[in-house]
Structure 1
């Protein structure tokens, strides 16, 4: 079952400022979290249960995923420029 992806309004603001091609690439990667909420590139974030950091060459995202819930919540997005 594909999980819903919740993007915090601040994440949407960052995406709006990104170049279209970069924005598409980032959104595709974030939407993939619906199929695999803890991909190999994700690492636990701090000691917060269910919090992960996803770092790629183009961006860094902080998000939460708890298996009992039906969604992934992306709270922070930093684009590497």
Structure 2
């Protein structure tokens, strides 16, 4: 990738927090409601887990997609 300064030769595993998570056959990624830090975080997490009930109890899949529901400062918090 160009434009990454001192970071040359970045691989997928360098960029991915969960490079070994595999989706179940036929799994369709739902459209997630984004969380920006406003509202009840527990209610949002419950909705998120309900949307991924097709993950068949795979906690690593729930963790891998968690960053997809965050925007703004909550996303920055998660990445850090």
Structure with a larger share of its residues in helix: 2
TM-score (norm 2): 0.25
Structure with a larger share of its residues in strand: 1
TM-score (norm 1): 0.25
